[in-house]
Amino acid sequence: MKLDGFRCLYQDGKLLSERGITQNHKFPHIESALSKLDAVLDGEVALDGGTIHEVNRKENWSKAKYYVFDLLEWLGDDLRDMPLVQRQNLLSRIVAELDNPSIEFVREFEGFEEGWEYVVENGCEGLIAKHKFSAYPRTEILLDEVRSKMWLKIKHKKERVFVMERFDNHEDDTGITFTDGFHRFSCRGENSDIAKQILAEDGKIRVEVQYLYETEDGHLFQPVVKRVGKVESVKNGS
């Protein structure tokens, strides 16, 4: 299961972000739950069914959970070369023994079809497919974005057609930001040039965009503009 939170490493009593910044002050309940473990863990701090924007709000910090998915060290032993299935079997037992509601073993699925069906039905971010015998990638910096070739990130994105009536130029003039009075998302490159021309002629534009989810204030998270065109090209029901 790919969660919409932010990745943290637990090491030497600290929850460390991908930039190596200690997060203990935000999540003392998580740090306390893990404090007796002699382990290095990899996981995601997230809300049950929430988004990364919600996790970042101070009022939600106490509700966050640490969803663990890998075990790098245990009782002083480096386990990174151990097959993933063995690391996770040990990790699942450790989580069960902790028996703490703030620490969960990330949801797993028997196969892609089962996992993808769950993702689509529940509007989740996606899946991480991993070979069960894969090692943990060895990099100079833990949590480096260099990933194993035996791991595959599969995002679940929504698609929608918007009719936009105006746009704002970016300060560096390399793109534009569309708005219909509520929704907002940016576009760069060839599509932004085409959009400017159509808007100058007709005043409205059809924008087909792919994104992960929409925030409460109308911003699209990780938007990708697939194509733009004149409004008359919008089909009934789009």
Q: pLDDT tens digit string along 215-229?
A: 878 888 888 888 888
Per the structure, the count of domains in the chain is 2
pLDDT of residue 237: 39
Percent of the chain with pLDDT over 90: 42
pLDDT of residue 194: 80
Query: Given 99, 130, 155, which residue is the final one in a domain?
Result: 155
> Is 24 inside a domain boundary?
yes
| Cα(159)–Cα(223) distance, integer angstroms | 9
Query: Given 131, 155, 179, which residue is the final one in a domain?
Result: 155
> Is 238 inside a domain boundary?
no
Is the same domain home to 117 and 41?
yes
Summarised one tens digit per residue, pLDDT across range 86-126 is: 999 999 999 999 999 999 999 999 889 999 999 888 878 88
Maximum average pLDDT range among 63-67, 125-129, 191-195, 231-235: 63-67
pLDDT band at residue 33 using 50, 70 and 90 as cut-offs: very high
Q: Is the pLDDT of residue 78 over 90?
A: yes
Query: Given 155, 175, 195, which residue is the final one in a domain?
Result: 155
